[in-house]
Amino acid sequence: MPIDQVLVVVPAHNEAEDLPSCLRALATAASACVVPVRLVAVLDNCSDGTAGVIPDGVEVLRVEHQNVGRSRATGFSEFGRELGASAWFTTTDADSVVGPTWIARQLEYARTADVVAGTVRIADWEGHPHSVRERYERMYHAHPYGRHGHVHGANLGVRADMYWSVGGFSDLEEDEDVDLVRRLSEAGACIAWAEDIAVTTSARLDGRTPGGFAGHIRNLGCTTADNEEAELAR
């Protein structure tokens, strides 16, 4: 069943600084797509003027969840229920920038796959020790199963009928992306682990969830520091 429309949902909590770049990139990607694309920003309990940076062409949903999983779920529920089974649902993060063919490349995979899990690249490592970057890249590019195996809410797409069949995103404060892909896999979805579809994201430490990607970077820093202290103690 060919894809006939696309819905992109971006959750945002106090993202006035980064969201404009994210939405500009999405608009470019949408313009390169041969099917209609709806862009939706879900503003979750924003108090920093995020609402004022939304450009024309982007639909806005305001919520007070303070929960990224619920924000993503609400975006797809509010705007995706009216779409048919052949729609494509995709999502990214407000601090991320997609490439100009991001949507089009997902739709190429969607010819044979139910889910597309892409990768991320870090925009700027400034402020992080070189050891953190080195450790991150070594771990990120290790593919013990012959594929990348990473799941990022910043780079994830799924066919609408498969999304609804497993209940969509759960109301989780973090790892809602991993949870969704796990349930899709258990339901027999065909997952394309698309290493050639990368999204540029930030390496900020002050993330919008208790852990998430920012927490992962923080943990790498702690682990690296502990390792270095152990080496010096020998």
Query: Average pLDDT, whole number, for the chain?
Result: 89
pTM for this entry: 0.86
- Is the distance from CB of 1 to CB of 86 less than 8 angstroms? yes
Taking only the tens place, the pLDDT of each residue in 137-158 is 888 888 778 899 999 999 999 9
Which residue from 65, 67, 52 is spatially nearest to 17, judged by alpha carbons? 52
Which residue from 90, 83, 95, 93 is spatially nearest to 105, judged by alpha carbons? 90
- Is the distance from CB of 103 to CB of 181 less than 8 angstroms? no
Q: Can you give the pLDDT at residue 208? A: 59
Q: Is 50 exceeded by the pLDDT of residue 78?
A: yes
Distances in Å between the Cα of 129 and the Cα atoms of 126, 203, 204, 217 are: 8, 12, 13, 11
Taking only the tens place, the pLDDT of each residue in 174-210 is 999 999 999 999 999 999 999 999 999 986 556 455 5
- Is the distance from CB of 33 to CB of 106 less than 8 angstroms? no
Indicate the pLDDT class of residue 231, thresholds 50, 70 and 90. Answer: very low
For the chain, which domains are there?
5-127+143-207 (3.90.550.10)
Ranking 113-117, 126-130, 166-170, 183-187 by mean pLDDT, the lowest is: 126-130
